[in-house]
A and B are shown apart, each in its own frame.
Chain A
């Protein structure tokens, strides 16, 4: 394994022009895959970079980062006996899929705790900074932090999930210069030091968004999680061109002034989502390089999956733990740290692409940030395609304005009743009325956000907040505004239509339908994602 040449000399991402000799291209399709022949002469495929080599000694790199922070004092000097220390960390939505143990959060937090113990700090709280996401279960927390940390803190009530709806657990730190409220978890806000442990899988994560959003509540978050902001973030993956981030940074100013001292730790991982060998490894290889063994594995995997009921397929995929490796870790002052992180992040993700396309095709995988150990419901399908993948660009969108987006996903009418109760009602009641984000925001957001039952489920069960499905819809608002048509290949026609999109049974049909919008010779670009890539479109 170690001798694999790709580990030492990973090839960058690149753009392939499809000709007649190009083999069928792999499309992710939920808990399954499709092989699609793209039309020669007018199609191209963007491949992600191969995984960058991981840091040889992650624990030592972490230690070095903590001892030599950017624009800040070494962590041990910040730790004093009798102080109030809070460690906040990213929740289950990162990374995707979950990584093999030990999780990076565990590695970092164990070292931070060792330093704190050495400095005689004994008032330490650990908070899963989940904002309005669902609470993490005990086993998820154990996976992220390790049994040692869990058993030492959870029984004492010092390790817990952030609760944005706890009337006694939140404080307002002030207003930004744009009159945006800044709210924060009370324990975190009142700490002498707040250490935030990030796992930055994409360039959207981290920076002031960690604390300003992750430890905030509805009244703080609604200032940037709204249709206006999302329509004006081009894209929200590009921190400097994103209204979402500008608002978070303004809130950061308030935190800097009125909040706790923040010590930011950010980390980047490589693209090793499916491993170099094993059954999934074929998914991060380029199709013309598939060996006979790869082909056999793929065919076997697909026929096996086809024979399974969807619940069994889901179980298999959700149990996959990615062998991600740490590529960088930086600690210290929030903004400086984040700039370094972005650079490291882009090193892995950026693929230069020349010019826009008429038709963008996507194969949507089985997972997005909000269905870990859960079900990818139709609203999440929309969010993953039009929110995340569409916005994986720098410069200008991959697809031209008025172009067509074709996504491949089964889009079943299925919801996890525990995790996504408000999604079910959003789908049944809101989307059956309108799919226009502005109207949805105006007419329904408040009702869902302030609903007592959703609030109860968010706080005591494992439900996303009542307002969360709205954010999913807003995440796609820029794309909805931009695109001329959205087609889902192989999706349940009922749910696809409910989303306001058009169902097609094959890619050929979808391309045919797209020609109504872009003409018969429209150019096609396929984004071969995951592993993750971000197009730098010039």
Chain B
């Protein structure tokens, strides 16, 4: 019956790129071979057709149909000799449109196409539970209204007596956070519904956005954001900090809008902005539908498919999955909820069947043949409830038998939840987060590098996970505590009206689900695959990953390898090389005085360096004023052995040479003085360093240009690449500090070497290659970088002393 009544129809679908939408398209293509589809998608950059091809038809949901077509197109419902792609071309039309804008951005052709449709299924929604209030309002609240408006306009333009039948997908949770029965009635018919004017809510949501935007631009807010950016990046230079600050500002506005949505929703008795905007969306639709016949289908939480298109099929990482994954990784030690409460999930193929059954049935008419908006709920709680406690047990049992492995290849044992109240869990998580905050601040203040810094990055990662966990508690806690039972009278009426063939092809009775089987053999095995959880010990990922990255970095296709010097190739800095050179011609008492003076200056120098690297260098290099060029050249040749090579990382030097052997150009960009690094020249193809001007054979302590650090280093690199026709996306950069972030981000293959805490965490997050290079064990160690006394001087002094005595 369903197939017969839908066949020959043209059906418009919104939200086809989503989880439910994809399943709908797949089922219609497969089960109703002679209907046509008009898919309304946002065109994006590539255009509507390409989005349909790439984002919908490439999905593995279509594997079954594709195989069937390859085997026998006619049996699969196609024409003789037709391929899957041919069939899609024949039956699917992509229509560019956007439910988040008035008029849906449809042009006349689009409207005309819509006018030819018999049925419209509106499944587009902002389903994210933490979407911004105004985003949710535009899509969920105004979306259905806009679709109805477009349908009625299209009918009018084409003199169609009756607009298409609109099947709008909503959610059971429009009933709000309540206990007890929630029957299939329009929202305003419920005794618990607080009637608010949806138009006011729209206006206020838009205003809230404007307000949040302007609040984000107040000096106090910007100052805080800038501080946060600096804390995250360190002295990465002005542009990088600005970019980060702007990112943070946008994120801040987003958070404000999420909070606004959540608080407005809970003030009206909804678990979150999604349910709230969906409820008002239904109101708006019913109120403004005009002559468009409307049916509303309300699923509860949609989960992976029971059997169609394949058991366990799911698209995207949905509501329950992140929580379950976090639990399997041992992150969620506790989660709130009422164990006896019902967690209302419904496999997506049951929802698809219900929607199609409603569409096939057509608008609900009264005895006079007048259509009335009707509601069909599809949920499991009323007829086949899954208790929250039971679900948690099932999940725990499964993960006990199939543990996830941590990075040390040890199975993670999952915790047993005791179901405390939501408040207690939040408090626990808050405390843990605070502890990590303090630890992180302490670590940040320490000058750590390399492995220790990675420990810091590990802390940050743990903090991120905790934040995520408490996010879940905030977001989903309300759902696990929801004790509403969604009525299914209309659904069962529909089910009962189906004949045997339909019941076999379009299964929608929740009683068909056997929960333990569903969770253990269908949902979890597919979920862990989709979430890429590590389910077997196997080789250590990190080392094989590093090997892979190293191979990429040394691939002959790379063009340029650019290196920082200090702490990337050599454990030394400008202060050390300066004091080496400066003390080389001092006698013992003068040396002691020099050391004492330099030690006194260290706090000032460090503070200056932290504030701005190039200011520091300019300030510091003044010290070279009046230094004779010849003598420094001779001394720096000696310093190559005594300081630079002694403090070098042999693995780093080796890497430079490996790049050269692989045919890459090698470039050193350093803030160090050219005279200091001159002896390293043969190691690289090119060197860019700070240069000092010379007058009368002495240095004058002034730099001839901007020292290449931070963003200036980035610019140097970009200029160099341009001059030598080098593709930076095919290049490699090595650096140790977040101040080099602009340079690292500019290339396709960044490598963090002995990273300090901030860079370590950035590198980890972005999966960059991290190298730990050490000084050679056996290198002579010296506490202070003092140059060995020049022998000429020692000798003169010895003679002088002798003649004195």
Which of A270-278, A432-440, A454-462 touches B?
A454-462
**Among A147, A424, A452, which residue has its beta carbon within 8 angstroms of that of B650?**
A424
How many angstroms from the CA of A463 to the CA of B640 in the assembled complex?
Answer: 11
Name A127-154 residues within 8 Å CB distance of B.
138-139, 142, 147, 151
Contact partners of A429 in chain B: CB under 8 A: 654
Contact partners of B653 in chain A: CB under 8 A: 421, 453
Name B669-696 residues within 8 Å CB distance of A.
679, 682-683
Name B758-779 residues within 8 Å CB distance of A.
775-779
A461 touches B778 (CB 8 A): no
B776 touches A416 (CB 8 A): yes
A418 touches B682 (CB 8 A): no
Which residue on chain A has the smallest CB distance to residue B778? Answer: A414
Question: Is A415 located at the chain interface by the 8 A CB criterion?
Answer: yes
Given the contacts A142-B791, A425-B650, A417 and B645 also touching, CB distance less than 8 Å: yes
Given the contacts A139-B791, A421-B645, A415 and B776 also touching, CB distance less than 8 Å: yes
Q: Min CB distance, B537 to chain A, in Å?
A: 25
Given the contacts A151-B795, A417-B779, A461 and B650 also touching, CB distance less than 8 Å: no
**Among B650, B775, B778, B795, which residue has its beta carbon within 8 angstroms of that of A375?**
B778
Question: Is B739 located at the chain interface by the 8 A CB criterion?
Answer: no
Name A272-313 residues within 8 Å CB distance of B.
311
Question: Is A531 located at the chain interface by the 8 A CB criterion?
Answer: no
Question: Is B295 located at the chain interface by the 8 A CB criterion?
Answer: no
How many angstroms from the CA of A311 to the CA of B640 in the assembled complex?
Answer: 22
Number of interface residues of B (CB under 8 A): 24
A460 touches B679 (CB 8 A): yes
**Among B645, B651, B779, which residue has its beta carbon within 8 angstroms of that of A457?**
B645
A462 touches B641 (CB 8 A): yes
Given the contacts A142-B791, A147-B795, A417 and B775 also touching, CB distance less than 8 Å: yes
Question: Is B480 located at the chain interface by the 8 A CB criterion?
Answer: no
How many angstroms from the CA of A410 to the CA of B679 in the assembled complex?
Answer: 35
* Chain A 399-437: CB-based contact to B (< 8 A → 1; otherwise 0): 000000000000011111110010011001100000000
Given the contacts A138-B791, A460-B637, A425 and B654 also touching, CB distance less than 8 Å: yes
Q: Min CB distance, B568 to chain A, in Å?
A: 16
B778 touches A412 (CB 8 A): yes
Question: Is A377 located at the chain interface by the 8 A CB criterion?
Answer: yes
Contact partners of A457 in chain B: CB under 8 A: 645
Contact partners of A425 in chain B: CB under 8 A: 650, 654
Contact partners of A461 in chain B: CB under 8 A: 640-641, 645, 679
* Chain A 453-481: CB-based contact to B (< 8 A → 1; otherwise 0): 10011001111000000000000000000
Name B19-48 residues within 8 Å CB distance of A.
none
Contact partners of A452 in chain B: CB under 8 A: 682
Contact partners of B683 in chain A: CB under 8 A: 453, 456
Which residue on chain B has the smallest CB distance to residue A459? Answer: B682
Question: Is B657 located at the chain interface by the 8 A CB criterion?
Answer: yes
Q: Min CB distance, A151 to chain B, in Å?
A: 7
Most buried by B among A375, A421, A425, A453: A453
B682 touches A456 (CB 8 A): yes
Question: Is B781 located at the chain interface by the 8 A CB criterion?
Answer: yes
* Chain B 784-805: CB-based contact to A (< 8 A → 1; otherwise 0): 0000000100010000000000
Contact partners of B640 in chain A: CB under 8 A: 460-461
Question: Is B648 located at the chain interface by the 8 A CB criterion?
Answer: yes
Contact partners of B637 in chain A: CB under 8 A: 460
Contact partners of A460 in chain B: CB under 8 A: 637, 640, 679
B682 touches A414 (CB 8 A): no
Which residue on chain B has the smallest CB distance to residue A141? Answer: B791
Contact partners of B679 in chain A: CB under 8 A: 460-461
Question: Is B380 located at the chain interface by the 8 A CB criterion?
Answer: no
Question: Is B646 located at the chain interface by the 8 A CB criterion?
Answer: yes
Given the contacts A453-B657, A460-B640, A424 and B682 also touching, CB distance less than 8 Å: no
Name B622-644 residues within 8 Å CB distance of A.
637, 640-642
Name A62-82 residues within 8 Å CB distance of B.
none
Q: Min CB distance, B801 to chain A, in Å?
A: 14
Contact partners of A453 in chain B: CB under 8 A: 653, 657, 682-683
Which residue on chain B has the smallest CB distance to residue A377? Answer: B778
Contact partners of B648 in chain A: CB under 8 A: 417
Contact partners of B778 in chain A: CB under 8 A: 375, 377, 412, 414-417
Listed by A's residue number, 10 A-B pairs whose Cβ atoms lie within 8 Å are A412-B778, A414-B777, A415-B778, A418-B645, A418-B646, A453-B653, A453-B683, A460-B640, A461-B641, A462-B641
Q: A414-B776, A415-B777 are in contact. List 16 more A-B contacts (CB 8 A).
A: A311-B780, A413-B777, A415-B650, A417-B645, A417-B650, A417-B778, A417-B779, A424-B650, A429-B654, A453-B657, A453-B682, A453-B683, A460-B637, A460-B640, A461-B645, A463-B645
What is the interface of chain B, defined by CB distance below 8 A to chain A? 637, 640-642, 645-646, 648, 650-651, 653-654, 657, 679, 682-683, 775-781, 791, 795
